[in-house]
Each structure stands twice: as C-alpha cells, then as structure tokens.
Amino acid sequence: MRLAAPAKSSPAKTEQIILFRVSGQLFAVSSASVQEVRSADSMSGAAMEISAPGLRKVRHAVRRGERSLFIVNGAMHFGLHAAEGALLFVLRKTRTALLIDGIDKMATMTRLQALPLSFCHEERQWYRGLTALDQSIVPVVKPEGFLFPEELALLDAALLQADNTAAAAALEEADSPQ
C-alpha cells in the first residue's frame, strides 16, 4: 500500500513594498501602486498653487495632459509635525502625488495584518493594514486613501477657480496699455 504524498504547503504570498519616511515616521506602500518617484524640486516649476477650504494637506496641483494630480503633503495628512518633503510618489490609479521625506528601502512583505480596532476614525481609510519588518510594525498605506471623492470634488472646484483667476489676470494684463 502506498502512502499519499504529503500536501505541499503553498509558499506565502509576498508583495514588494517601498518603505518611506514622513516626519521621521516609517510607512510602507505597495511598489506596484507607485507609478513614479520624482524630486519635489522637479515638479515645482509645473505646480500650480491652489486653496480648497478645509483641505490644508493639498496646496499644489500639477497638470498632466487632461489630468490634474494633487500633491498631498504626507506630514499634514498623517497629522505629523510639518516637514519639507523631498520626494513625490505619483500614485497609480489615483490623482495623488504624495510628498514624502525620503525612501528607506525596498522590502518584501509576507504578511499583512488587519488593523486593530484602536484604529477607529478616518485612519481606517488610510491604511491597508500593518506588517512586521525588521522587528518593527509598519503601517501599509492605501494609495486611494489620501484623497476621497468629496475631497477631489473640492480640489477640482479650487482648480477651476484658480484657472479662472489666472485667465482673468491674463486678460487684464493684455488689455492694459503698455
């Protein structure tokens, strides 16, 4: 009589993540959700200043073809002390570019823990869960958790107002005698 071969355990599902810092705090994001990494300085010339009431975490937008990206200040989003961000993560499938201090490293995540119930406010929408890396617990962010549909509507309205103000100023300048 032959014994059945033992069932092979499937290898743990892994995911590549990017560890990054905002105001000295460590966070992680799936590397697949980051479309590109840019220097904050490289976007400064193309960034348009905007102001949306009650939405202090976004001060700039960048036009990319038909689409506008809103630059979310990571420190303000997470409620951390203000810091000058050096890099931008342009997040895939969103209209968000996240301003961060810097990248720590790439890593492989083998397990994503659900958020504890102590995360009971808006931060439940910010994070996918927690992971353990190098004896540290790191929150893993949701790319779509930085700007919600109602915030995007406010930002679109602020962008339209900024466009109208710029167009009016350009017309006024063109009409003024030289």
The string of pLDDT tens digits covering residues 57-67 is 999 999 888 88
Contact 155, 61 (CB under 8 A): yes
- All residues at 6 or more sequence positions from 129 whose CB lies less than 8 Å from its CB, including other chains: 112, 113, 114, 115, 139, 140
- Residue 2 has a pLDDT of 64
C-alpha 175/C-alpha 170 separation (Å) is 9
pLDDT at 81 over 60: yes
